[in-house]
Amino acid sequence: MVDFATLNARYGIPGGLAVAAVTNAHGTATIALQGAQVLSWAPRGEQPVIWLSAVAKFASGKLIRGGVPVCWPWFGPHPTEPSFPWHVFARIVPWEPAEIQRLADGSTRIAFRLVQNEATLAQWPHSTPVELHINVGAVLELNLVTRNIGQSPVTIDGEMHSYFQVSDIRPVRILGLDACPYFDRVDACRCKQQAGPVTISAETDRIYLEATSDCLIEDPGLSRRIRIAKRGSHSTVVWNRWIDKAARMGDIGEDGYLMMVCVESANVADNIVTIASGDEHHPWARYSIERLG
């Protein structure tokens, strides 16, 4: 067990948020204990891969714009209770560090466990302990483990809401979604089909279904591809708020929308998951860098 008080004293952000800082021979990362949210990751010698807003707000119980938030156990509005917040349950509650290991290849593994209390049980009264296992090295791996130790099946949906750093979104291409059907949430959730690479030149909010192949964010400005591999998730969400909505949000920053894109590993819409009693579900994602040319 890791000492939470020690982490908070060494790496706390003014305002009360504790952050774990990881540095090893392969790369660096920072992780907020609120939400077990990866805030940054960069392999050794590389530009940052994970985008964090320059004007992100760090306050207890508030969203941190950027990084890799965990949206669990529901995505979007709660299916039965409209007063519950949109897919932010796990993002704004404390997680506790459960384990830190140095792996044989020199990377670092940290496991976090969501802290259950009266407030969390009021919104999610199910016996489903959840952990996020994070491997930091030349690649970044995330494994979200939900165990159903209750007596009845439990249905969940959610995602790893990853924000990726790009030099300029306008020439970027996202590969790996060709021919996938998707719901276009900017166009009344109409069902469409992707043709060729995804490019972004306006507000984009799409849920791609049965999307299990690797996605690649091809960024000519940084001469690299970000490869997003995954298992255990069948949806991919592509998201960028663009100019007007980004400005209204207030925490993306001036021109921040040009330097990021969300490509999120998810199980949402038609791909939600039911976990039987005694079973577990563990979607996994791995982010890595490839050079262009």
- Confidence band for 88, pLDDT divided at 50, 70 and 90: confident
pLDDT in tens, 22-47: 999 999 999 999 999 999 999 999 99
Q: How far apart are CA 165 and CA 104, in angstroms?
A: 29
pLDDT in tens, 184-243: 999 999 999 999 999 999 999 999 999 999 999 999 999 999 999 999 999 999 999 999
Query: Is the pLDDT confidence value at 61 over 90?
Result: no
What is the average pLDDT value for the chain, to the nearest integer?
Answer: 91
Q: What is the pLDDT of residue 122?
A: 86
Catalytic residues: 161, 264
HEC string for 13-69: ECCCECEEEEECCCEEEEEECECCEEEEEEECCCCCCECECCCCCCCCCCCCCECEC
pLDDT at 103: 94
Ordered domains of the chain (ranges, CATH): 4-291 (2.70.98.10)
* 121-134 confidence digits (pLDDT tens): 888 999 999 999 99
- Spacing of C-alpha 209 from chain mean position: 18
Residue, of 189 and 5, whose pLDDT is higher: 189
Query: Quick check: 11 pLDDT over 50?
Result: no
